[in-house]
Amino acid sequence: MVNANAFHAEGGCDCRTVRYRMETAPLFVHCCHCRWCQRESGASFALNALIEGDRVTELGEPPDLVNMPSESGSGQLIARCPNCKVAVWSNYSGAGPLVKFIRVGTLDNPDLLPPDIHIFTASKQPWVVLPEGTPAVAEYYEREHHWPRESLARRQVLLPFINAYQAAKSGP
């Protein structure tokens, strides 16, 4: 994982209408091989960098937030360019806008963020060869076992806000 304090990365859509900057390194990078990600991306997997929403600065026009189903049944909001429709990040229902799942392929330099883990490999395409040295799990994983200590500490800071977000969603 890269040094969070020495990290800045910009990205955006194809037409450059939606632009953003990651102000720090992400919490963790997933390479997800689930069938939902395959279908949604039209590719063999989705590569997402999880980062606190307030550590992403929007530099261009705001994206359209498109409500989409998810395998959990809770749905997700996908941030898409209003012009070229490229998906730049997702917000899942658990943390909403507090955590962005940045599509690594939309970074100006996507080479900065290789996956920290391959997930849902039980449904990966059979011709995809996973690299040695990168953790891979059949389904999901135990966060405490795989995330770096610094990312776990950042998540602890975020948890009260996530709990408040979830409580507000469920209502009185």
- Per-residue pLDDT of 85-96, as tens digits, reads 999 999 988 899
For residue 162, what is the enclosing H or E element?
helix 149-170
Q: Where are the domains of the chain?
A: 4-170
Question: 131-156 burial by CB neighbour count: b if 16+ within 10 A, else e?
Answer: eeeeebeeeebeeeeebeeebeebbe
Contact (Cβ atoms closer than 8 angstroms) between residue 134 and residue 146: no
Local confidence band at 158 (pLDDT 50, 70, 90 cut-offs): very high
The pLDDT mean for the chain works out to 92
- Per-residue pLDDT of 129-139, as tens digits, reads 999 999 999 99
Contact (Cβ atoms closer than 8 angstroms) between residue 105 and residue 47: yes
Q: What is the pLDDT of residue 94?
A: 86
Local confidence band at 4 (pLDDT 50, 70, 90 cut-offs): low
Local confidence band at 7 (pLDDT 50, 70, 90 cut-offs): confident
Q: Domain 4-170, what fold? A: glutathione-dependent formaldehyde- activating enzyme (gfa) (3.90.1590)
The residues facing 57 across adjacent strands are 21
CA 138 – CA 141 distance, rounded (Å): 9
Side-chain-side CA neighbours of 42 within 13 Å: the count stands at 2
Local confidence band at 172 (pLDDT 50, 70, 90 cut-offs): low
pLDDT surpasses 60 at 147: yes
Q: What percent of the chain has pLDDT over 90?
A: 80
Local confidence band at 5 (pLDDT 50, 70, 90 cut-offs): low
Provide the 3-class DSSP secondary structure of residue 25: coil
pLDDT surpasses 80 at 74: no
pLDDT surpasses 90 at 1: no
Output the CA torsion 94→95→97→102 (10° steps): -90
